[in-house]
Amino acid sequence: MDVFNAIRERRSVKHYDVNARLSDQQFQQLISSTLLSPTSYNIQHWRFVRIQDRELREALKTAAWEQSQVTDAAELIVVCADIDAWKDRPERYWADADIDTQNLLVPMIDSFYRGKPQLQRDEAIRSCGIAAQTLMLSAKAMGFDSNPMIGFDAEQVADLIKLPDNHLIAMLIAVGKASKAARPRGGQLAMDDVLFTNGF
Ligand SMILES: Cc1cc2nc3c(=O)[nH]c(=O)nc-3n(C[C@H](O)[C@H](O)[C@H](O)COP(=O)(O)O)c2cc1C
C-alpha cells in the first residue's frame, strides 16, 4: 500500500474481530518496520511488550477502563521507553558507523543529555510517538487496523508488565482486524489554524 493511502486509511478502530490473528511472520514484519523509525542520536529508546497471556490481557483491560480493544484485538503492544537509554552503552547506537563518526557522535550523546531529566524524558516520549505511528502505518499497509491508547491507569499497567525503573509507558497499541469501522473523523483543524510561516 502506498504510504499516502496508509495515512489516509489508518483510523483508530475500537471494535475488533476476536478470531483474527497476525502470523509470527507478520508480527516480525510489523516490529522490524517499526524499528526503522528515527530517533535523536539513534538512541532507540523504545521497548515493546507484546501481551499474549489471556489473563494478563483481562487484567490490562480492567486497568484500561474496560476498553474492549485490549482483549479483542489480535495483538496488544505496550509501547515503553528506557529513559536512561542515552547512557546505557551508547556505543551500540553507532556500532555500524565508521570510526570517525563513532568518535564524533557517541561522546555528544552524553554531553547533550546529562543532567537534563526533562529532556531525557521528552526524548523518550518523542521516540515512542514516532515509533507508534510507524507501527500503525505499517499495520495498515499490511491490512490490519490499530488503536493507540492512553486511557489506562499507568501505575497498574506498570505493575502488570513489571516495568523496570527509569522506564515509562508511552501508550498501548491494539492491532487487529476491525469488526466495526471507525466513527467518521472527529474534525481536523484547518491548515490555517496550525501552519505558520517564519514563526507564530
Ligand atoms: C496518544 C493517544 C492516545 C489515545 N488514547 C485512546 C484511548 O485510550 N482510547 C481510544 O478509544 N482512543 C484513543 N486514542 C485515539 C484518538 O481518539 C484518535 O486518534 C483521534 O480521535 C483521531 O482519530 P483517528 O486516529 O481515527 O484519526 C488515542 C490516540 C492517541 C494518539
Does residue 15 contact residue 179 with C-beta atoms inside 8 Å? Answer: yes
**Closest CA to ligand 1's atom 10:** 149
Cell of 111: 554531553
Residue 84 falls inside a structural domain: yes
Residue 44 falls inside a structural domain: yes
**Residue 103 is part of which domain span?**
3-180
**pLDDT tens digits for 132-191?**
999 999 999 999 999 999 999 999 999 999 999 999 999 999 999 999 999 999 999 999
Ligand 1 site, residue 179, Cβ cutoff 6 A: no
Residue 187 falls inside a structural domain: no
- How many whole angstroms separate alpha carbon 63 and alpha carbon 79? 16
- How many whole angstroms separate alpha carbon 5 and alpha carbon 180? 20
Residue 50 falls inside a structural domain: yes
Structural domains of the chain, count: 1
- How many whole angstroms separate alpha carbon 156 and alpha carbon 62? 9
Is the pTM higher than 0.95?
A: yes
Cell of 89: 552503552
**Closest CA to ligand 1's atom 9:** 149
Query: What CATH number corresponds to the domain at position 172?
Result: 3.40.109.10
**pLDDT tens digits for 32-50?**
999 999 999 999 999 999 9
Does residue 149 contact residue 172 with C-beta atoms inside 8 Å? Answer: yes
